[in-house]
Amino acid sequence: MRRLLSALLFFAALLLLWEGLCRARLWSPVLVPSPVSVGRYLWSAAADGSLLGAALVTLRRLFLGYLFGIALGLPLGLLTARFKLLNDTLGLVSLGLQTLPSVCWVPLALLWFGQTESAMFFVVVMGTLWSMIIATESGVRNVPPIYARAARTMGSKGLHTWLKVMLPASLPFVVSGMKQGWAFAWRSLMAAEIYVTILSGFGLGHLLHYGRELQAMEQVIGIMLVIIVIGLLADKVLFSPWERFLHRRWGTARS
């Protein structure tokens, strides 16, 4: 309760400071809109449904690509850890492609798929996949060998060992890989949406882009705030439960 209160106070003070600086007319209101005008924009965009619509379009793209990337990356990561041949080939490819900023996939995706949903999907998958493969692979590599030995003595072998021992044991790595994949996917999707217009749906990136075209700074800043809030929510809703689970089970919590 106290923490919530101090956070609220902090943000209220920040808004007041912002509003105060705008009222002092230090900068042109075209370049630095006041929080009130940003709020007004957000309110009207929410009222006419364009904000929610754009957010849903963006989130749908993100989730589809992200879930696909994870569903593909997790088993590929396990296989890469299991088979030396895959490790020497796919493992190396993943490492290389992971170093490539995922926004670099955008030009290629546009040439291959045109200005379509498929291009967006592709970019998000590329953002997620390689981090997921690498995180899963190094997770498995860091599992103490004694776990597998103990499991074998209890009659576990083959697929059972992989699903019931290796996979949960590498969970700390897998979760941080999921988090990194999410960050990469989110960033590259935003870049792609700002970069290209896709007629099948206007996302948050497009709203940001049109804000610039129209020189509507309150729209630019308003959408940026929305993007930040979505990022925060994703962290709290998607990853915090996993992290709390890990901290509780592994005993890695600090407080």
Partner 1 sequence: MNLQAEIGNESPAKLSLRGVSKRFQTGSTQVHALDDVSLDVGEGEFVCLVGPSGCGKSTLLSIIAGLEQADQGTLLTDGQPIREPGRDRMVMFQEAALFPWLDVLDNVLFGLKLKPWLKAAERIEVARFYLKLVGLEKFSHSYVHELSGGMKQRTALARALAPNPKVLLMDEPFAALDALTREQLYGDLQRIWAQRRKTIVFVTHNVREAVCLGDRVVLFSPNPGRIREHFKIDLPRPRDINSPSLAEHAQQIMAALKGHEQVNAEEVAE
Q: How many CB atoms lie within 10 A of CB 93?
A: 13
Cβ 81 to partner 1 shortest distance, Å: 18
Nearer to partner 1, 84 or 164 (CB): 164
Residues that bind partner 1 (CB under 8 A): 144, 146-147, 149-156, 160, 164-165, 168-169, 171, 248-251
CB of 144 to partner 1, least distance (A): 8
User: Closest distance between partner 1 and the C-beta of residue 252, in Å?
Assistant: 8
Residue closer to partner 1 by CB (options 11, 250) is: 250
Residue 34: C-alpha distances to residues 7, 12, 211, 228 (Å):
21, 14, 16, 18
Question: H-type helices in the chain, by residue range?
Answer: 2-23, 35-47, 50-82, 84-86, 92-99, 105-113, 117-141, 145-153, 158-161, 167-169, 171-195, 204-213, 217-234, 240-250
118 vs 156, beta carbon nearer partner 1: 156
Q: Provide the terminal-to-terminal Cα distance of the chain, rounded to the nearest Å.
A: 17
Query: CB atoms < 10 A from the CB of 116, how many?
Result: 16
Output the smallest distance, CB 251 to partner 1, in A.
Answer: 3
Question: 38 with 225: CB under 8 angstroms?
Answer: yes
Closest CB to partner 1 among residues 165, 198: 165
Residue carrying the six token digits 């490539």: 100
Residue 63 or 245 with smaller CB distance to partner 1: 245
**Nearer to partner 1 among residue 152 and residue 212 (C-beta):** 152
Nearer to partner 1, 86 or 169 (CB): 169
Closest distance of CB 143 from partner 1, Å: 10
With tokens 């993007």, the residue in question is: 227
SS3 103: helix
State in angstroms the smallest separation of the CB of 249 from partner 1: 5
Which residue matches tokens 């209101």? Answer: 29
Q: How far is the CB of 78 from partner 1 (least distance, A)?
A: 16
Cβ partners under 8 Å of residue 36, min gap 6: 19
